[in-house]
Structure 1
Amino acid sequence: MSMINENEFKKLADYEHGTCISIFIPTERAGKEVLEGKNKKHLHSEWTQIKKKLKEDDLSESSIEKISKPIQKLIDDRDFWRHQSDGLAIFVSPDFFSYYTVPVNFEAYHYISEEFYVKPLIPALTGDAKFNVLSIQLEDVKLYEVTRYSIAPVEIDDLTPSRLEERVGYDYKERSLQFRTQGEGGDKTQFHGHGGSERDEKTEIKQFFRAVDQGIKKYLQKENLPLLVYCQDYLFPIYKEANTYNHLFETVVPGNPNDTDILGIHKRSLEIFEPVMNENRDKKIKKYEELSSTENTTSALSDIIPAIYQGKVDTLFIENRAEVWGKYHEDEMKVEFSENHHDGKVSLLNLAAKKTIDMGGKVYLVEHEFMPQKKSKMNALLRF
């Protein structure tokens, strides 16, 4: 499994070749569709169309064969198709091959050009969606760095005890923890240990959680990202008592994280955190609307792209699933529009998105109904 990160994105965005192919397909995580090979069939179908176009474009048989090898190897890999998320993005040229499993339900799509089509992956680079997830049980502790499109483990073995016994002593024996809430709607939980121990189990758990908190705190304070905790409901109030990190998210991801895999942890975490991820985008849209009658906004693509190259764009809004074809002549600061993707014309929205990120701006893919200026497929909030 490979998931996108900033370094990988930059590699894709900077890559140029005479033939660059970008493929996006929806995938199923499990169920009947997986057993019947639906994911594999999607890729096979897209690749059949691509090969036909490459032949029509007079690409040599040897180049097509070179490109085909890693694609066919992926199609034939049964184990690969058993471990999918919601979408698969593949980038291939005669001398390059990479794929990314991402929690995005792509529409089946391919793009053939001299550059890769990275626009669907842009939200992973905005930074607004970045947060940490602490997966914690009495016998297991893991930390992840998460974005809308990715999840990556953080190495914390040297920072924290990995299980309760390491903190409170190995004479501690696992006991059945029972709890009950006093009165309907009450919030006081009582713990009852079995086995005759005089230790207060809640105190021991809190001691363990405090050690975890202190162990990861220095790492968390490097970026001060929100910390989302994934654990069983009865453990979260104890962790909150032990916590000293200022950016702990108040809502827990309920359940035992050991009951799922890393993609499941990612999916469950996004379900809880998604409303927060849209806050900065919504604030920027509101700011655009407030300034729409000033010189600090524009919806004209012929003005936006030169402004991007001059570093003037603070935030770019691009209509999701939209496309505009053409070419940008940087020396003349002129945008040439086209009706199609032929004769050297490229996706201007893909170009604008890549360059905005490169110049330190932010990009949001926005559904049509949420675009600040709906008559245009791209809106820009300019720097003051």
Structure 2
Amino acid sequence: MLYIDIPTHPEIRALFEARADACVSIYLPTTPETQNVTLSRISFGNLTRTALEQLDAVGFDKRRRAALEEHLLALDEDGEFWRLQANSLAVLATSDSLRTFRLATEVTETVEVSDRFYLKPLMRAMAFPQHAFVLALSENDARLVEVFADQPASAVNVPGLPASAADAAGRSPVNNLTQDTTQTNSEGRKKLLLSFLRKVDAALRTVLAGRETPLILAATEPVGPMFRSLNSYPGLLAEGISASPDDMSESALASAARSVLDGHYAARIEAATALFHERIGSHRAISDLQAVARAATFGAVDLLLVDIDEVMPGTVDDTDGTVALATKPSAASYGVIDEITGRVILAGGKVLAVRREDMPDGAAVAAILRYPV
């Protein structure tokens, strides 16, 4: 099983706002295979030492250093924690706190030390989690299946989920309407289906409330369009699985869902890139680092695209957004792209973290503006 805990948007905003005398951000690949987790723990120990060495280099307070080291060592020694992992791990620590996030996406082994957290890899995990739910829905069946990046799909227990339309109606199959002679077969069938689908939607709320995980609908007509007309979950994707799910196994549903997810993510990137090029002519699209930092500082960025793997140590002026790049990472600098990302999010903008090959013009950052700056 893949154990995932991706931060919500309120959590990521709080993390971007966090400041401390030392914020340690550690990212490393892990494995859900418990018998192979030893290498991940060794990597974490090495990255911890690197972080502490950076603090020693700037003469960090010894008592605060000891408290921070205690948090990290306690995590390193927690065998139960390491037993339950996903494909990668984010560890965000200060002398007073430690947060962890297990991610389905892969990350590059990284350690950053600054007065704020390095959060760009988390943005990629939030944007492209490779994690979804599939609602397999027909008159004869209603199932919720959870799909993971590299692990087998599994059925989700949903309290109150009706097993079928007939179950929801407490009667024989919906095509047999002899119990209700006041309605025509087609009218009665439609009403019974709508009642069934409303019960499905209500049951799903107990599992999906507060989530942002994509939901993929596997259904055919008329059930598919009818469910979409009353669905209350905002994460339902427009594209679904257009096949009867009755005879589809969890594995078959997961395979079809991954294809839908890939198309969904590719379409988001393609649409953002197209909009970027469209806005260049009206001076509402920029990719120069200094210009993007300035726009982010003034709250002018509506959508920011960032290269998930690019790290530029330095600082960004709080007043005018001027970027001063550093020659190498240290406790006296931080990732400027990460800082720009945080300013965009705190100003209500959206962020899309992608691979370099998906960036407009191959830039490290690209911004679509609310207005020319």
Counting only pairs closer than 5 Å after superposition, residues 83-162 of structure 1 correspond to structure 2 as 83-123=84-124, 133-134=134-135, 142=144, 157=159, 160-161=160-161
Q: 1:271 to 1:145 in 2, by over 3 A?
A: closer
User: What is residue 214 of structure 1 aligned with on the other side?
Assistant: 198
Q: What are the ranges of 5 or more consecutive residues in structure 2 without an aligned counterpart?
A: 150-154, 178-189, 230-235
Distance 1:32 1:113, change over 3 A: same
What is the aligned partner in structure 2 of residue 14 from structure 1?
17
Aligned to 1:326: 314
Q: In structure 2, which of residues 217, 228, 236 is the aligned counterpart of residue 245 of structure 1?
A: 228
Instruction: With the length of structure 1 as denominator, give the TM-score of the two structures.
Output: 0.71
Provide the C-alpha distance between the structure 2 equivalents of 1:71 and 1:63, rounded to a whole number of angstroms.
13
- Call closer, same or farther: CA 1:382–1:24 in 2, change over 3 Å: same
Residue type of the alignment partner of 1:250: G
Q: Deviations over 1:295-353 (max 9, x none)?
A: 22222212111111222212222122112232222334433233233473321100111
Letter in 2 for 1:64: R
**Residue 383 of structure 1 corresponds to which residue in structure 2?**
370
In the alignment, what sits opposite 2:349? 361
- Contact 1:227/1:249, CA 8 A, preserved across alignment: no
Whole-Å separation in 1 of the counterparts to 2:62 and 2:212: 52
Q: What's the C-alpha RMSD, in Å, of the aligned pairs?
A: 4.4
The 3 A distance-change label for structure 1 pair 331 and 241 is closer
Match of 1:193 in 2: none
- Aligned position for 1:71: 72
How many Å separate the matches in 2 of 1:367 and 1:342? 25
**CA positional deviation for 1:25:** 0.6
Kept after mapping to 2: 8 A contact 1:168/1:207:
no
Query: Alpha carbons of 1:313 and 1:156: their partners in 2 closer, same or farther (altered >3 Å)?
Result: same
Q: Determine if contact 2:104/2:129 at 8 Å carries over to the other structure.
A: no
Q: Deviations over 1:232-285 (max 9, x none)?
A: xxxx5599469432466431797555x8xxxx97x9855531211231321121
Cα distance change, pair 333–93 in 1 and its aligned pair in 2 (3 A): closer
Contact 2:302-2:369 within 8 A present in 1 as well: yes
Partner SS for 2:108: coil
Query: Within 1, Cα distance between the matches of 2:132 and 2:354?
Result: 21
How far has the Cα of 1:23 moved from its partner?
Answer: 0.6
Q: Hey, what's the Cα distance between the residues in 2 that align with 1:33 and 1:127?
A: 25
CA distance in 2, matches of 1:306, 1:372: 19
Q: What is the CA–CA distance in structure 2 between the aligned matches of 1:224 and 1:245, rounded to whole Å?
A: 17
- Describe the shift of the 1:213–1:168 C-alpha distance in structure 2 as closer, same or farther (beyond 3 A): closer
In structure 2, C-alpha distance between the alignment counterparts of 1:282 and 1:6, rounded to whole Å: 23
- Per the alignment, residue 81 of structure 2 pairs with 80
Q: What TM-score, normalized to structure 2?
A: 0.72
SS in 2 for 1:3: coil
1:25 aligns with 2:28: yes
Residues 225 and 91 (structure 1), Cα distance of their counterparts in 2 relative to 1, 3 Å cut:
closer
Counterpart AA for 1:251: I
Query: How many residues align structurally?
Result: 335
Q: CA contact under 8 A between 1:87 and 1:104: conserved in structure 2? A: yes
CA spacing shift, 1:53–1:226, aligned 2, 3 Å = closer
Relative to its length, the structure with more strand (as a share) is: 1
* Equivalent residue letter for 2:52: K
CA distance in structure 2 between the aligned counterparts of 1:225 and 1:80, rounded to whole angstroms: 24
Partners in 2 of 1:272 and 1:156 — Cα distance? 23
Report the Cα distance in structure 1 between the residues aligned to 2:210 and 2:51, rounded to whole angstroms.
45
* Structure 1: stretches of 5+ with no match in the other structure: 148-152, 173-198, 231-235
Partner of 1:373: 361
* Partner residue, 2:184: none
The whole-number CA distance in structure 1 between the counterparts of 2:25 and 2:212 is 35
Among the aligned pairs, what percent are the same residue?
17
- What amino acid is the match of 1:289? H
Distance of aligned partners of 1:211 and 1:141 in 2 relative to their CA distance in 1, 3 Å threshold = farther
Judged with a 3 Å threshold, the aligned counterparts in structure 2 of structure 1 residues 126 and 356 are, in CA distance, closer, same or farther, namely: farther
Q: Distance in 1 between matches of 2:273 and 2:338?
A: 20
Give the aligned partner of residue 283 of structure 1: 271
Structure 2 vs 1, CA of residues 68 and 363 (structure 1 numbering), >3 Å: closer, same or farther?
same
Q: Which has the higher contact order (CA 8 A, sep 6+)?
A: 2
Q: 1:202 to 1:47 in 2, by over 3 A?
A: farther
Going from structure 1 to structure 2, the CA distance change for 1:130 and 1:316 (only over 3 Å counts) comes to: farther
